[in-house]
């Protein structure tokens, strides 16, 4: 059984069991899109078949778009990953760390690289470290959701700057809203709103015509919707038809399976380190390098999983020997979104896959399913 057949079998079982209305799957190999299939329905009622160009909220898969835009600006010397956050956003100059019930200055200020690799100590979301969660709750700081939001990215980031850090920067992998802070830095450095930055620096060069922060009115019938009564599905979700007030660099994107397959082909180097689609040049190789080392496994919710480290928005094989030894099959890169979208590239074989569906509360389950299926197959299946 090949990759697509096995993925279709797994996803079809979820459709038949009414765990998801439908899904779109893309398979890549050696820098090319090999297969694209849709299964099930695009709507919860099951009245409209899922089209293979369906549009999905991708939540945290937005982070790789932000990371790529950031690396292009680093390559231009517009910003440096060693820049203190406060150099670009002065209201981050007086941060404090919560430690043993008291607030103190951090051992060093967070830098842009901390935002990229989730080591700034910034929380947000349901898995925020317990020592800072009361502060976030009281200030009503929460990750972006696809709901109507009156506040802007700048409003959100300013509120974040008033909250304590969970730990000294560079000491814990704290998966939170750090990418939103980075998105605001990009806006200040590039003198453009974030959606224009990512469109200009990532989507247009790669030809990602269905990726962005809102969906055109003419395309609304292509937006996939989850079962509204399924466990963990938020209330009040909307599809933004115009630029939202809060352009979330960490969670605000929409895309299609075909677009993310194209992105995956663009960033995945071959065995000789060459890029199949060299739009960005050597900068994308940084995405495949573990940037956290011994911090693997730390934090309240280590999403990359056993044997994996983290680069700039992607899980990668860990560079820490003890952690890597926990899973000898950890040889993929990729990431996931809250509503169970995911993309995975297997380094040894060059085979990749994108799964687009809508199921809340099971994102890691579906990512692991795709990761295990892709990792079992070899590129020779496609030659």
* Band (160; pLDDT cuts 50, 70, 90): very high
Distance CA 43, CA 226 (A): 7
Is residue 162 within 8 Å of 139, Cβ to Cβ? yes
Pair 360, 230: CB distance under 8 Å: yes
Q: Note whether 208 and 255 are within 8 A (CB).
A: yes
Rg (alpha carbons) of the chain, rounded to whole number: 20
- At how many degrees (to 10) do helices 3-16 and 363-375 cross? 150
Please state, in angstroms and rounded to a whole number, the distance separating the CA atoms of residues 177 and 144: 9
Sequence length of the chain is: 383
Predicted confidence at residue 380, as pLDDT, reads 42
CATH 1.20.58 fits 79-190, yes or no: yes
Q: Is the pLDDT of residue 362 over 80?
A: yes
CA dist 63 and 117 (Å) reads 10
Contacts of 221 (CB under 8 A, 6+ apart): 48
pLDDT band for 381, please (50, 70, 90 cuts): very low
Class of domain 3-68+192-382: alpha beta
Task: Give DSSP secondary structure letters for 183-246.
Answer: HHHHHHHHTS-HHHHHIIIIIHHHT-TT-BSS--GGGGGGB----TTSTTPPSS----SS--SS
Facing residues of 317 across strands? Answer: 308
- SS3 letters for 157-196? HHHHHCCCECCCCCCCCCCCCHHHHHHHHHHHHHCCCHHH
User: How far apart are alpha carbons 383 and 29 in whole angstroms?
Assistant: 9
Q: Read off the pLDDT band of 187 (50, 70, 90).
A: very high
- pLDDT tens-digit readout, 83-112: 999 999 999 999 999 999 999 999 999 999
Domain range summary for the chain, segments of one domain joined by +: 3-68+192-382, 79-190
3-68+192-382 and 79-190: identical CATH topology: no
204-263 confidence digits (pLDDT tens)? 999 999 999 999 999 999 999 999 999 999 999 999 999 999 999 999 999 999 999 999
N-to-C CA span, the chain: 15
Whether pLDDT at 282 is above 90: no
């Amino acid at each position: 059984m090949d990759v697509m057949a096995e993925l279709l079998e797994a996803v079809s079982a979820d459709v038949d069991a009414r765990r998801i209305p439908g899904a779109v799957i893309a398979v890549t190999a050696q820098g090319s899109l090999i297969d694209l299939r849709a299964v099930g329905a695009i709507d919860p009622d099951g009245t409209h078949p899922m089209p293979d160009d369906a549009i999905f909220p991708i939540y945290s898969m937005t982070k790789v778009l932000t990371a790529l835009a950031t690396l292009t600006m680093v390559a231009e010397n517009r910003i440096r990953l060693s820049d203190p956050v406060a150099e670009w956003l002065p209201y981050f100059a007086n941060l404090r760390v919560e430690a043993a019930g008291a607030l103190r200055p951090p051992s060093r200020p967070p830098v842009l690289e901390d935002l990229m690799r989730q080591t700034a100590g910034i929380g947000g979301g349901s898995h925020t470290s317990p020592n800072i969660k009361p502060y976030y709750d009281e200030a009503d700081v929460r990750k972006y959701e696809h709901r109507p939001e009156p506040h802007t990215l700048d409003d959100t980031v300013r509120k974040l700057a008033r909250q304590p850090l969970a730990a000294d920067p560079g000491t814990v992998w704290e998966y939170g809203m750090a990418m939103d802070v980075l998105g605001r830095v990009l806006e200040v450095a590039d003198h453009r709103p974030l959606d224009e930055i990512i469109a200009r620096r990532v989507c247009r060069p790669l030809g990602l015509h269905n990726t962005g922060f809102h969906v055109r009115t003419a395309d609304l019938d292509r937006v996939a919707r989850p079962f509204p009564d399924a466990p963990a599905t938020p209330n009040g979700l909307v599809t933004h038809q115009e630029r939202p007030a809060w352009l979330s660099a960490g969670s605000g994107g929409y895309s299609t399976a075909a677009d993310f397959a194209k992105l995956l082909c663009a960033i995945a180097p071959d065995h000789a380190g060459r890029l199949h689609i060299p739009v960005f040049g050597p900068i994308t190789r940084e995405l495949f390098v573990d940037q956290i080392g011994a911090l693997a496994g730390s934090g309240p919710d280590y999403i990359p999983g056993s044997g994996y480290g983290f680069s700039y928005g992607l899980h990668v094989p860990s560079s820490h020997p003890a952690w890597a030894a926990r899973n000898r099959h950890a040889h993929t890169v990729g990431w996931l979104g809250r509503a169970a979208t995911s993309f995975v590239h297997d380094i040894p074989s060059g085979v990749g896959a994108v799964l687009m569906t809508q199921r809340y509360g099971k994102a890691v389950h579906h990512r692991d399913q795709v990761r295990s299926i892709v990792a079992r197959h070899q590129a020779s299946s496609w030659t």
